[in-house]
Amino acid sequence: MINFNVNLQGEVAIVTGAGGLGAAIIKGLIRNGAFVIVGDIKLDKIKKEIGEDNFYKDKISFLEIDTSDFYQVTEMINKTIETYGKVDILINTVGILRESSILETSKDEWNKTLHVNLDSVFNLCKGVMLYMVRQKKGKIVNFTSIAGQRGSSLSVHYGSSKAGIIGFTMSLAKEVGCYGINVNAIAPGIIRSDMSKKKITTTTEKYLNQIPLHRFGEPEDVVGMVLLLVSPAGDYITGQIININGGMG
């Protein structure tokens, strides 16, 4: 468990994405005082991991939504405002990946990947923006990938969506900095998760040899940076793409 401590007492955070990384971030936020609203299309796994723990359950609520649907996102944000009166933090971890060559990638698969990975970020950021502008403060952390920086074979659709998040993050940071809103992105390398399971098990040595620390990342390796960015310690950090990849690349 991450030991990095910050003061997020009374802060309200929306987190999208219900994988192992999302769960680790949610636990870190709650342990440092935040209330968390989780939005994802499948919530069973994260409810099982978090929802039964008495420490967490009073500070978390779940909304089953498709984050790539603008209207469902708007409804979730409206419910958040009705319940808490504000939204201080937004963390977008949602994403999908199906490896395939460009010859094998259908137009539907291309559209779906960009729709889920990139449209979701737009939907959430646009949705919270009015409230953060009114508050004159807010912290947004988007999740891109090393694939969005250096490319990745067999996933031009995924790499393109993640590169789009980089451009989106840097542009939005410039636009809303005058309102006291910080927008950053984290670009993980290979972090142990459902998404990376196949890559880790089938080509372990190939990828380990590219990582100077010679190990794959754990979700907890990312949590400390997220907490820093959304806390007062991150007040002068914006428009940055922060690599957490063990030196890979």
Active site residues: 158
Location of structure tokens 């008495």: 54
Q: Where are the strands (E) in 73-216, listed by range?
A: 89-92, 138-143, 181-188
CA angle 13, 148, 92 (to 5 degrees): 10
> In angstroms, how far is CA 209 from the centroid of its own chain?
27
Contact 233, 11 (CB under 8 A): no
Give per-residue burial for 217-230: e unless 16+ CB within 10 Å, then b: bebbbbbbbbbbbb
Question: Which of 176, 187, 189, 139 lies closest to 29, judged by CA?
Answer: 139
